[in-house]
Amino acid sequence: MKTIGLLGGMSWESTVSYYQIINRTINGQLGGLHSAKIVLHSVDFHEIEQLQHAGAWDKTGSILAQAARSLQAAGADCLVLCTNTMHRVADAIQRAIEIPVLHIADAVASSVRESGIHGIGLLGTKFTMEQAFYRDRLSDMHGLKVLIPDKHQREMIHRVIYEELCAGNINNESRTQFAEIIRDLASRGAEGTILGCTELSLLVKQEDSPVPLFDTTEIHARRAALWAIS
């Protein structure tokens, strides 16, 4: 079994889910008392979040690249970045290490395509929804048609992620608003919706949606576990 390097803490709420999903998947595949071989580097999200909103992506890339080097030195055979947004600097991380970065958008796109869906809605931070690093990877590399919410909806989603979900607060009113946004995307042609922030699965469930949801945390963590025992 290979060792998975988790680069987490962004936020720690979703990093907990990665640990659980990976271990449950390994045990489900191998049985007995098997569990995953994992090394974890968890950063202080306050520092990362401040740099995100300042647009200091090069600085965040340097911080995470250094963390990635520590995971490689600790024996990790691959790196799993436990966040969608910080894949904005995935290339900088990959250049800093020799082990592969298992990119979250590639794992998610594979699941979407396996389901037969072409038009997909994307929810996440404003960075993920609005910048090219994620949307273009889905469309240019994987041939998906990506739809995003309107500006007002994007601002609401971004606020809920940072002010509520990253703090572990689950608000039923926010869940209702997210369900309305998903229905709106479906009316515009989205055959499914990507929960493109690793905290969103804490709030939004399949029963809240008329179309299939793609939980990036579940998909990414499961793919990493299967990679480790492949």
**Phi, psi torsion values for 48, nearest 5 degrees:** -65, -45
Strand partners, 41: 7
Q: Are 225 and 3 in contact (CB under 8 A)?
A: no
Number of other residues whose CB lies within 10 A of the CB of residue 176: 11
83 is catalytic: yes
Active-site choice (15, 25, 83, 193): 83
Q: Which residues contact 129 (CB under 8 A, 6 or more apart)?
A: 122, 123, 135, 148, 149, 154, 157, 196
Active-site choice (197, 198, 216, 217): 197
197 is catalytic: yes
- Distance CA(69)–CA(182), nearest Å, equals 38
Which residues are tagged catalytic?
Answer: 83, 197
